[in-house]
Chains A and B, each alone.
Chain A
Amino acid sequence: MTDLTSLTLAEARKGLAAKTFTSLELTDAHLNAIEAARVLNAFVMETPDQARAMAREADVKIGKGDAGPLAGIPLGIKDLFATKGVRTTACSKILGNFVPTYESTVTSQLWRDGAVMLGKLNNDEFAMGSSNETSCFGPVANPWRRDGSNTTLVPGGSSGGSASAVAALLCMGATATDTGGSIRQPAAFTATVGIKPTYGRCSRWGVVAFASSLDQAGPIARSVRDSAMLLRSMAGHDPKDTTSVDIPVPDYEAAIGKSVKGMKIGIPKEYRLDGMPAEIEKLWSEGAAWLKAAGAELVEVSLPHTKYALPAYYIVAPAEASSNLARYDGVRYGLREQGKNVIELYENTRAEGFGAEVRRRVMIGTYVLSAGYYDAYYLRAQKVRTLIKKDFEDCFAKGVSAILTPATPSAAFGVGEKGGADPVEMYLNDIFTVTVNMAGLPGIAVPAGKDAQGLPLGLQLIGRPFDEETLFSLGEVIEQAAGRFTPARWW
């Protein structure tokens, strides 16, 4: 039998249906792979007993012929999703040994459809980071290395554990979340596919909140088709999240292989940055050529407020974070550090429980919302956000179906290489992805090539609200042209 971990989700589904192998065999193969890859630090909690129990249950259902669309498929879950009875920490010390008594809506839908949980995946603390280095469980290693080098590279972040685990064949797919690029940037760094759906497409209920007006859940997977299959199960209306949208979830997989002939694809001139590496520029032109060869029409478009998206984000996101994270007070759950009165208890708990990046963002958020500064910072940033969204609306109003951009300004970098002296250096990683969150749009990152050092690079497609299907159709064209990429195993 071929190594079961090297199958795509779509291939595994076929094998399970044909009874070529069982879910228990498939699950065990992945549990073994996880055990052998602990050096990557992708999983912060392994749940082998639960995985095997879920796999056995899936095998019974497959046997009876009433299997769900993801029956028996082993997945990893980002530690930001509350999982009933299984420790959920957001990779922060402040949540300590928090064990939810409830299940997030997104994961409950995956289990409803028969998926198997292998364990919880590492991420940046409260999803604040672009390298997975802020996790209280330590950094995650990217399974990719530069040609001829054994330097450990970051997998990107915040969904670094999800991306690393999917790329290293430790799980067939993973849940992730994206507030400023946290699905798409790690996907690009690891040659995996990641889609952030339209704001409101997936329920945020039971997902640890970072910046509520920007946060969206989505999958990271090994192919465009796999990501479509996962999103179909993750998406859908949830009365428990008032921002979740009550419109039907399409069969995303049906969009794979659909013709893109005649589609207008926008190439935004503002994304052509000064000093952009030539290989990113080349990748971008190649992507455009592939779409053109498939019958799409390329048009130059302008998104004039692009450069203001990242600074506006670094007001809006910390402001929302500072209020969301007010709940970690050492009283209702998680860590408690004593103090001689209740204020000191709060202050000591939060100083001890939050890492440096989270403290910094909570403080900047507190500042921009404080009396006398609200109008100058927060209100202005929300107005700029309106302008960013309008840029996209104007572009789509001219008949543009989707926008093609690079996913990241560079390939993966080394652990400890960025952001040490100036936090802004790290933030610049999200320059191409953050606009999409500010405008609430869907965006997909698809592997498209490698740089001169053999590291993967990705392209991003940005779509109209709730038109994820077009992104899957176009993403498939890029995947067919570029091929798929798997790292050489060194662990």
Chain B
Amino acid sequence: MSVDATTVRRIAHLARIAVSEDEVPHLQGELNAMLAFVEQLSEVNVEGVEPMTSVTPMQMKKRQDLVNDGEIADDIVANAPATEGHFFLVPKVVE
């Protein structure tokens, strides 16, 4: 499988990465090189094979249902590029 220029633009938008028109051909070439490389997986017989979900054979751990952290709003917003009080600022979302 390979991707065309339209697909490159669509993936870029899904990935929320702005891509200029002159970057598209280059990206298309690189993505297709990667897709050509992974193409060899299609020759593996995976009939009846379970997909891996956990690499170590262990039960998923569950945490105690209790509050053990919090009241650190100052810390949470400390690195934000734009804040007001304990809120993150973004461009207007709802008109």
Contact = CB atoms under 8 A, between A and B. Distances in A.
A376 B52 CA distance: 15
B80 A331 contact: yes
A332 B52 contact: no
Contact of A363 (B1, B11, B44, B54): B11
Interface in B49-95: 49-56, 58, 60-61, 63, 72, 75-76, 78-82, 88, 90-93
Given A331-B80, A377-B38, A383-B51, A364 B56 contact: no
Contacts of A150: none
B24 to A, nearest CB: 11
Interface residues of B, number: 52
B30 A423 contact: yes
B23 to A, nearest CB: 9
B56 A311 contact: no
A329 B88 CA distance: 12
A184 interface: no
B82 A423 contact: no
Contacts of A314: 34, 37-38
Interface of B: 1, 3, 7-8, 11-19, 27, 30-31, 33-35, 37-42, 44, 46, 49-56, 58, 60-61, 63, 72, 75-76, 78-82, 88, 90-93
Contacts of A345: 90-91
The DSSP consensus for interface residues of chain A is: helix
Given A101-B72, A311-B37, A311-B38, A362 B30 contact: no
B80 A332 contact: yes
B55 A440 contact: yes
Nearest to A322: B15
A273 to B, nearest CB: 15
Interface string A296-309: 00000000010110
A333 B72 contact: no
Interface in A348-393: 348, 350-351, 354, 359-360, 362-367, 370, 373, 376-377, 379-387, 389
B78 A101 contact: yes
Contact of B31 (A354, A367, A389): A367
A311 B35 CA distance: 9
B60 A242 contact: yes
A376 B1 contact: yes
A312 B15 CA distance: 21
A355 to B, nearest CB: 12
A350 B44 contact: no
A200 to B, nearest CB: 5
A237 to B, nearest CB: 10
Contact of A350 (B15, B27, B31, B81): B15
B55 to A, nearest CB: 3
A392 B78 CA distance: 46
Contacts of B14: 366, 370
A311 B44 CA distance: 12
A384 B44 contact: yes
A217 B92 CA distance: 41
Interface in A89-106: 98-99, 101-102
Contacts of B8: 363
Contacts of B17: 347, 350-351, 354, 359, 362-363
A383 B50 contact: yes
A239 B63 contact: yes
Contacts of B63: 239, 242
Contacts of A213: 52, 55
Given A311-B41, A342-B91, A424-B34, A351 B55 contact: no
A346 B31 contact: no
A384 B56 contact: no
A452 interface: no
B17 to A, nearest CB: 5
A362 B36 CA distance: 17
For the complex of A and B, 3 pairs with smallest distance between CB atoms: A440-B55, A382-B51, A333-B79
A199 B93 contact: no
B93 A439 contact: no
A422 interface: yes
